[in-house]
Amino acid sequence: MRVLAAMSGGVDSAVAAALAVEAGHDVVGVHMALSRNRDQFRTGSRGCCSIEDAGDARRAADVLGIPYYVWDLSETFEETVVADFLAEYSAGRTPNPCVRCNEHIKFEALLDKATALGFDAVATGHYARVVEGDGGTRELHRSPNDAKDQSYVLAVMGSERLRRSIFPLGGFASKDEVRAEAERRGLSVSAKPDSYDICFVADGDTQGFLRDRLGARPGEIVDASGDVLGEHDGAYAYTVGQRKGLGIDRPAADGRPRYVLEVRPADNQVVVGPAELLSVDRVDASLALWFDGVLDGPTALAAPGQWFDAEVQVRAHGAPVAARVRAVPGRDDDGAGSVEVELTGATLRGVAPGQSLVVYAGTRVLGQATVDDAYRAASRASQVAEGVR
C-alpha cells in the first residue's frame, strides 16, 4: 500500500513510520505545521508541531530513507480547532481540542488530502488497535498500554476514516518499549520528552490564552441559591468541577471546599457549591457518531432507540463507568442523532457540556457524542414536579 505517515517530530510517530516501512508499504512522511508562530520552538515548551519538531521529523525520515514533506495546515487548524476552542469556552462549555484536532486535522484535512493524492492509508503514532470484527468490519479498540491509550480521542473519526487508517503502535504495552524500538533503529528522538497539555497553548496558561483572545468580561460568582460570593473577569475561564482559582475571598459557612457547578454564559455567572452537587447519573449528548456494526448489521448490539449495556467515558484518561445507553435517531438536517445515558454503576463527577462522551463495550469503541447536559435523575424529577427545568 501507499501510506502517508504523519510525523509530528516525536518518538511515537517516528516508530510508527518505521514499522510501516518494515511492513513493506511505500511510505512518505509528512509533518503538519499547525502553529502560526514561526518563532515557536519546543525547548521550554509544552506543545508540539513547532519548528524544532519539524526538524526532528525530517531527521527521522532521513534515517528511514523515506521522502519527507511539510504541509502547512495552520490556517485550517486556526479556523477549526482553535476557533472551536474559543467558541465553546465562550458558550460556557468545556471542549477537548485533541478530539477536534483528530476530527478536523488528522482524519479530515490530512486523510482527505492523502486520498486525493493517491495514498491508500495514513499511519499515525496513536496508541489504539484496529481489529477485524464479524462481517469484515474494522473495529477501533483500546491500546494495551492503559497509560497512553488514545482510543477516546480517536472515537470521533468514524468507520469510513478508520478503514483508511493504520496505527502501528497498537500492540505496544508501554512507552518504554516504543523508546527502545526507536533507539534500536537509530532514531535520535528515542529519548525526546512527550508533549502534553494543549499544543497551541505552549506555556500551559489556558486562562491567559482565553483572556488574550476573548478579553475581560466581568461578572458574578454565585452559589446554588443565587447569593453573590465574588466576581470574575470572564466566565470562560471556569469549567465544571474546577476547585482552584475561583477568586472567592471568604470560605463556605461549613468550611468545605467549593467547586464550579455550572457556567451560565447568558447571565455571565459562575455557580459554585459543594462537591456532592457535581455527581451525576444521567447524561444527554448530541452529534452522535457510531461505528459500523453497532446499530446495524446482523451482529448489531442494539437497534436505534433500544437500550443496551455498555461503559461510558467522559475524559481522555478517565475511568469507564457502567451504563445503559440508547441511541436516538437524528431529526435535524445533518441526521446526527443523540445519546441518552443512565449510569448503572458509579456516578460521574464534574461532567461538563462540550466534553466528548465515548461509549465502549470492553476494549471496543462503539461510538462518540458531545455532552449537552448531565444531572441527577432524582433531582431532575423533583425540578419537573415543581415546574422548574
User: Of residues 48, 49, 98, 199, which has the active-site annotation?
Assistant: 199
Burial class (CB in 10 A: 0-12, 13-18, 19+), 381: exposed
Separation CA 372–CA 275 (nearest Å): 21
Separation CA 260–CA 79 (nearest Å): 29
101 included as an active-site residue: yes
**Cell of residue 178, nine digits:** 516504543
Residue 75, φ and ψ in degrees, nearest 5: -70, -45
User: Of residues 48, 49, 98, 101, which has the active-site annotation?
Assistant: 101
Find where cell 499547525 sits. 34
**Chain center to CA of 231:** 31
Separation CA 128–CA 149 (nearest Å): 6
**Cell of residue 196, nine digits:** 502534553
Query: Which pairing describes strands 269-273 and 308-313: parallel, antiparallel, or unpaired?
Result: unpaired
**Cell of residue 5, nine digits:** 505517515
Distances (CA, A) of 202 to 37, 164, 209, 287: 11, 31, 10, 30
User: Cβ(169)–Cβ(126) under 8 Å?
Assistant: yes
**Cell of residue 48, nine digits:** 508540539
**Residues acting as catalytic residues:** 101, 199
